[in-house]
Homo-oligomer: A and B are copies of this chain.
Amino acid sequence: MSKTDPGRFFEDFRLDETLAHATPRTVSDADSALYLALTGTRFAVNSADPFARAIGYARAPLDDFLAFHIVFGKTVPDVSINAVANLGYASGVFGVPLYPGDTVTARSAVIGLRENSNRETGTVYLRSQGVNERGETVVDYVRWVMVRKRDKRAPAPTPSVPKLPPAVMPGELVVPSWLDLRGYDRALAGARQGWSDYAVGERIDHLDGMTIEEAEHAMATRLYQNTAKVHFNQHSERQGRFGRRLIYGGHVISLARALSFNGLANAFRIAALNGGRHVAPTFAGDTLYAWSEVLDKAELPGRSDVGALRLRLVAAKDHPCGDFPDKTGEAYHAAVVLDLDYWALMPR
């Protein structure tokens, strides 16, 4: 029995199998502090216990994307060690908040497999779920990833591609009954505008830029126990596609979300991840800027205090976003690195 795990190759995945991922993790205040030190996030609900309690939380929860990255990281050793590219996300729903002291475990189901025509790689579709120690779902999402084959001659599985919705439906969003935004203090949160102040089609330039250092993205990615080699090994990446380490796409998401505070300060909760694409790689030394577009607005059943905004978050590197760098057809502006589609909750 080999003692080391080289990771799964495409032909190792079976449709409908379930993967129970290793390395449970008890999170703490320190995860929030490190996340803050690495991203500069300022959303008040994740920053202060009294603010969070005033709207029904037990205390300040971990940032939603921090929770997502911790769950995602657990899937990497089983799923994407031999990945060529992380292709997309869909159907991500955020459930219960993740609090300091909670323990996260993760599992995934293989929901689709399709070999590529070159027979050297294939796409694996997975539904992954992170749960707390009470078995409650913290986040549940689909991603698909291109994985190398160990052996080009290995037989291809019957192609199976799941039908994925373009977005989570507003009725599927988790809006806890304990959540009560009457206690939400917009002055403390840092902006007056609420859900009713945003219009579909509106675009917001988030103004600020943030430069990324090697130590920063590596620390963030290790904090998530994400073991994908491309982020950490300069010795091997020197020979690789880019000649250098690639920044974990999730760190780019987190930085773009932190930048989006300036314009979306009251988008206090990520409710769903509708989709997302890492359009281009990001490297240490790059400076990220971001802009957002309001794609949709939804009232929430039985709630007059809170609404949902469907937002598109676009990050660009070394390019301020006053001109809203975008895509034309399928071709993206050369500076764009991230195109993310999510639902956020906001006081009305």
Which label, helix, strand, loop or mixed, suits the secondary structure of the A interface?
A: mixed
A39 near B222 (CB under 8 angstroms)?
yes
A209 near B222 (CB under 8 angstroms)?
no
Q: Indicate which residue in B30, B40, B60 contacts A232 across the interface (CB closer than 8 Å).
A: B40
Interface string of A153-195 (1 = CB under 8 A from B): 0000000000000000000000000000000000111111100
**CA A70 to CA B207, docked complex, whole Å:** 23
A233 near B220 (CB under 8 angstroms)?
no
Q: Indicate which residue in B23, B223, B264 contacts A44 across the interface (CB closer than 8 Å).
A: B23
In the complex, chain B residues whose CB is within 8 Å of the CB of A264: 3
A208 near B233 (CB under 8 angstroms)?
yes
In the complex, chain B residues whose CB is within 8 Å of the CB of A190: 22-23, 77
Interface residue A318 (Cβ < 8 Å from any Cβ of B) = yes
- How many identical subunits does the complex contain? 3
Interface residue A38 (Cβ < 8 Å from any Cβ of B) = yes
Interface residue A216 (Cβ < 8 Å from any Cβ of B) = yes
Interface residue A136 (Cβ < 8 Å from any Cβ of B) = no
B234 near A208 (CB under 8 angstroms)?
no
Interface residues of A, count at CB 8 A: 80
B30 near A48 (CB under 8 angstroms)?
no
Interface residue A47 (Cβ < 8 Å from any Cβ of B) = yes
In the complex, chain B residues whose CB is within 8 Å of the CB of A204: 3-4
- Given A105-B188, A263-B4, is A245 in contact with B211 using a C-beta cutoff of 8 Å? yes
Most chain B CB inside 10 Å of its own CB: which residue of A26, A190, A191, A287: A26
Interface string of A204-239 (1 = CB under 8 A from B): 111111110111101110110101010011111000
Interface residue A301 (Cβ < 8 Å from any Cβ of B) = no
In the complex, chain B residues whose CB is within 8 Å of the CB of A233: 208-211, 287
Interface residue A87 (Cβ < 8 Å from any Cβ of B) = no
B48 near A223 (CB under 8 angstroms)?
no
**CA A198 to CA B1, docked complex, whole Å:** 10
Question: Which residues of chain A in 20-64 are interfacial with respect to chain B, using CB atoms and an 8 Å cutoff?
Answer: 20, 22-26, 28-34, 36-40, 42, 44, 47-51, 60
The 5 nearest A-B residue pairs measured at CB: A22-B190, A30-B33, A235-B287, A28-B29, A24-B48
- 5 A-B contacts (beta carbon < 8 Å): A1-B197, A3-B263, A4-B204, A216-B219, A234-B287
